[in-house]
């Protein structure tokens, strides 16, 4: 009897994803959104309110149409675009001067709780399968840890790590059993990376630790999986905030086992896999997508 090969495909047909942290077509959040759509998922995104108008304008004017093209035909369409500032669990937590400012006051409830309530209104209970946390902010990221203020440090932890806890806390009840949450981390969680300061290395370490604990708690309570992807450096607009991203990209390329620059879609594809039934046995894990750089103990010989 002749053996027949069966192709394993990532199939997310009928699944709904929420990708938090998409404001253009250059970063990991967009690449993950596109990979999920390629696999058949419907995609909603959460966008920082000050960037939302620009993002909506880019879409409306067709400025990112080329990036939105899918290999199977058609384009990446966002089922909903929600305002989201993950620094605030509820609207009441937001200072009045921020809430009433020009970039926020017409956006309704942009808190994490507001996002959860909007999703419930739009799609009902148990209508979410995938949550992607592609958020980070360290206002003092250019400062060495020795010079970081308490407020700068705690802001980095709050927005870059605790926001995952808050999102799982509020969105897991909306997720169907078998759902998946994925976040993005970086090697500075476990290695010293001079220049990546302001408490961001501490925030990434907290994010990875929380991933393990949330995997247990949310797995037992909601039957969902929680993983994080440790991605290599990408010269996105958001990453430019650290000030030396191009140098990091070149250093990784020169010293990785695969001497190549990371492509955002490679991270997107791994995220799609982790959110699919093919990864049903994987949870509480940090998956490295960095061309193998994390395995190196010294610079590569010239």
- Of 239, 289, 236, 287, nearest to 260 by C-alpha is 289
The conformational region for residue 65 under phi > 0 = left, psi -120 to 50 = alpha, else beta, is alpha
Query: Is there a catalytic annotation at residue 196?
Result: yes
Query: Is there a catalytic annotation at residue 288?
Result: no
Point out the catalytic residue in the list 82, 88, 153, 186.
186
Point out the catalytic residue in the list 104, 196, 252, 293.
196
> Which residue matches tokens 């932890």?
157
Give strand pairing partners of 133: 20, 183
Q: What distance in Å separates the CA atoms of residue 18 and residue 41, rounded to the nearest whole number?
A: 10
- Of 61, 53, 60, 51, nearest to 20 by C-alpha is 51
Tell me the catalytic residues.
Answer: 186, 196
């Amino acid at each position: 009897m002749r053996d027949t090969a069966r192709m394993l495909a990532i199939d997310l047909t009928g699944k709904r994803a929420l990708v938090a942290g998409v404001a253009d077509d250059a970063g990991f959040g967009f690449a993950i959104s596109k990979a999920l759509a390629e696999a058949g998922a419907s995609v909603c995104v959460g966008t920082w309110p000050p960037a939302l108008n620009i993002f909506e304008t880019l879409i409306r004017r067709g400025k990112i149409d080329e990036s939105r093209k899918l290999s199977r035909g058609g384009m990446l369409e966002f089922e909903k675009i929600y305002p989201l500032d993950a620094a605030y669990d509820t609207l009441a937590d937001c200072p009045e001067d921020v809430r009433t400012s020009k970039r926020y006051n017409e956006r309704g409830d942009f808190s994490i709780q507001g996002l959860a309530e909007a999703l419930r209104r739009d799609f009902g209970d148990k209508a979410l399968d995938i949550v992607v946390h592609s958020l980070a902010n360290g206002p003092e990221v250019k400062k060495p840890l020795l010079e970081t203020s308490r407020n700068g440090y705690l802001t980095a932890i709050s927005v870059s790590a605790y926001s995952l806890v808050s999102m799982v806390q509020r969105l897991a009840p909306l997720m169907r059993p078998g759902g998946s949450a994925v976040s993005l981390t970086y090697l500075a969680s476990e290695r010293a990376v001079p220049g990546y300061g302001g408490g961001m290395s501490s925030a990434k370490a907290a994010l990875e630790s929380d991933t393990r604990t949330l995997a247990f708690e949310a797995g037992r309570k909601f039957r969902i999986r929680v993983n994080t992807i440790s991605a290599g450096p990408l010269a996105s607009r958001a990453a430019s905030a650290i000030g030396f991203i191009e140098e990091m990209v070149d250093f990784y390329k020169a010293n990785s086992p695969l001497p190549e620059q990371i492509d955002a879609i490679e991270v997107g594809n791994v995220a799609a896999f982790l959110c699919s039934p093919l990864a049903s046995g994987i949870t509480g894990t940090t998956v490295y997508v960095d061309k193998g750089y994390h395995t190196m103990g010294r610079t590569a010989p010239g």
